[in-house]
Structure 1
Amino acid sequence: MGCRRSLISLTALTALLFAGAATPAGAAVVSRYEIALWGMNEPAGSTWMIDGSGNGQHGRIGAEVGTGMPADADRGYRFERLEPDTPPARPGHLVVVPHSPRLNPGSRDFGVTLRLRTTNKFGNIIQKGQATVAGGSFKLQIPNGRVECMYRGSAGTIEVFAPYRINDGYWHVVRCLRVRAGVALLIDGRQVASRAGWTGPIANTWPVSIGGKLDCDQREVGCDYYAGDLDYILLEAA
């Protein structure tokens, strides 16, 4: 399918998601600012993930990440299944984007949108920071095949969970939003979960990690490696 731009702005979504609206249907405003746009269209054997936003947020592709994999009419990445909590750690399973202040949500409305396909039921898809990192963190993961969207800031942590599994072997577009009013999760254009509240600012000095945790050993700290395909990831702010 290739990388698709967001169909509705974060600002427009704020009122819709937390004013009793069941879905964001009807709004058609592009996002105000793309922070990073990783189309994941690189050919087989590529070592760098290119940021199509023009902001230079390129990432290093680990040697175990499959590139140039079919994603409908386009290409994507494949992350093979690794046994959970089984040493050793496999850093080659990750795509790592070096830290940049732009990649932090800060106090802005912030969104992560991605397209995935999996038949597995665990793994961290994308994150910046980990559970005890100073400055907070954000993460999308898929425990038991249900997507979880989490933002941890100076005022607290807000998590939302999909009410159903999407590890059905079909492509799905997942969108994880943090706005002043709260956090919301959309799947295939439909809001499936939300929780009101404010996380406070989120700003750490960690890289963005795609496909699992960066700091782990599979003994004391599990790496939570994602298993499945990714077509694109978009980070946006307003």
Structure 2
Amino acid sequence: MRRWLPLLATTILLAGTPMAAHASAVVPIAYWAMDEPSGATRMSDSSGNRLDGQIGREVGTGTVVRGAIGYRFDRLEPDTPPARPGHLVVVPNDPAMNPGVRDFAVTLRLRTTGHFGNIVQKGQSATEGGNFKLQIPNGKVQCSFRGDRGVLEADAPYPINDGEWHVVTCVRVSTGVALAIDGERVAGRAGWTGAIRNNWPLTIGGKLDCDQRTVGCDYYAGDLDYVSLETV
């Protein structure tokens, strides 16, 4: 049953302005259920597209919280060397994970009491070809898409770092970017980002290219139940 929650959230999100409810079908790109047992090193993609990831040795797999099995990311002091690549889950680059010019959605279920960190991203702020990212500054989810026509962000108006599970969906379509929390649309920006295509892997839990000195790694602290990518 949980497999269909991201699709439902995406459908609800697209119904709000400025997004046009023009998506007739949702096509999964990747679905990472994050239900691997303790000690697992491979994150399996159950979409059928074989976009599996490498689980860092510091990621707590098989974590059971309030009926959900997921990954735990312990808190790390921000901007304090050294970088900790073992805190990340890394999915090797695949063109399917690039939004391109398609309608594109990222959905995840999280639980945190933290107030910072990059949750999921493909590319970084200076990456050639653009990038997309979901982060949680001050406990408020923010999603951004940067393409060859510009950057659009959607910022949640309230924090969700209350220790409860929340489903977050961010959608980029031809008319803008919008954000939904627990199936309710909470923010959006009208416009067009243009194409987003880069050669970077997708990371979960923080930045890949960072040193905690000149570039902070922005490590996420909290739990994740699942992450999905879809075209809509």
> Structure 2 vs 1, CA of residues 39 and 199 (structure 1 numbering), >3 Å: closer, same or farther?
same
Q: Counterpart of 1:140 in structure 2: which amino acid?
A: L
Alignment CA distance shift 1:95-1:14 (3 Å):
same
Q: 2:118 aligns with which of 103, 114, 124?
A: 124
Task: Quote the Cα distance in structure 2 between the aligned partners of 1:179 and 1:47.
Answer: 34
CA separation in 2, counterparts of 1:185 and 1:221? 27
Alignment partners' CA distance in 2, 1:32 and 1:143: 29
Q: Partner of 1:7 in structure 2?
A: 8
> Superposed, which structure 2 residues align to 1:76-225 within 5 Å?
76-225=70-219
Given the two structures, how large is their TM-score scaled by the length of structure 1?
Answer: 0.92
Q: Where does structure 1 lack aligned partners over 5 or more consecutive residues?
A: none
- Conserved in 2, the CA contact under 8 Å of 1:2 and 1:74? no
Q: Equivalent residue of 1:6, what SS?
A: helix
Whichever residue aligns with residue 33 of structure 1, its letter is V
Cα deviation 1:67-121 (Å, max 9, x = unaligned): 0001433310000000000000000000000000000000000000000000000
Given that residues 2 and 75 in structure 1 are in contact (C-alpha distance below 8 angstroms), is that contact kept between their aligned partners in structure 2? no
Flag as ranges the 4+ runs of structure 1 deviating above 2 A: 1-5, 12-17, 29-32, 71-74
Distance 1:212 1:9, change over 3 A: closer
Q: Which residue of 2 aligns with 1:18?
A: 18
CA contact under 8 A between 1:39 and 1:50: conserved in structure 2? yes
* Percent of aligned positions that are identical: 62
Measure how far apart 1:16 and its partner are. Answer: 3.0
Aligned residues: 231
1:228 equivalent in alignment to 2:222 = yes
Paired letter, 2:188: S
User: Of 14, 32, 52, which residue of structure 2 is paired with 1:58?
Assistant: 52
> Which secondary structure does the structure 2 equivalent of 1:183 belong to?
strand
User: Are residues 48 and 30 of structure 1, via their aligned partners in 2, closer, same or farther at CA, if it must alter by over 3 Å?
Assistant: farther
* Kept after mapping to 2: 8 A contact 1:36/1:57: yes
| Cα distance in structure 2, aligned partners of 1:2 and 1:19 | 25
Using a 3 Å threshold, how does the CA distance of structure 1 residues 199 and 62 change in structure 2: closer, same or farther?
Answer: same
Q: Secondary structure at the match of 1:132?
A: coil
Q: Distance in 1 between matches of 2:129 and 2:228?
A: 22
Contact kept? 2:6, 2:107, Cα under 8 Å: no
Report the CA distance shift for 1:225/1:50 in structure 2 as closer, same or farther (over 3 A): same
Task: Indicate if the aligned counterparts of 2:7 and 2:26 stay in contact, CA closer than 8 A.
Answer: no
Distance 1:146 1:202, change over 3 A: same
Alpha-carbon distance in structure 1 between the residues aligned to 2:19 and 2:25: 20
Structure 2: how far apart are the matches of 1:80 and 1:127?
18
Contact 2:149 2:193 in 1 (8 A): yes
Deviation at 1:145, TM superposition (A): 0.3
Give the AA of the match of 2:126. Answer: T
User: What residue in structure 2 maps to residue 32 of structure 1?
Assistant: 26
Please state whether the residue corresponding to 2:16 is helix, strand or coil.
helix
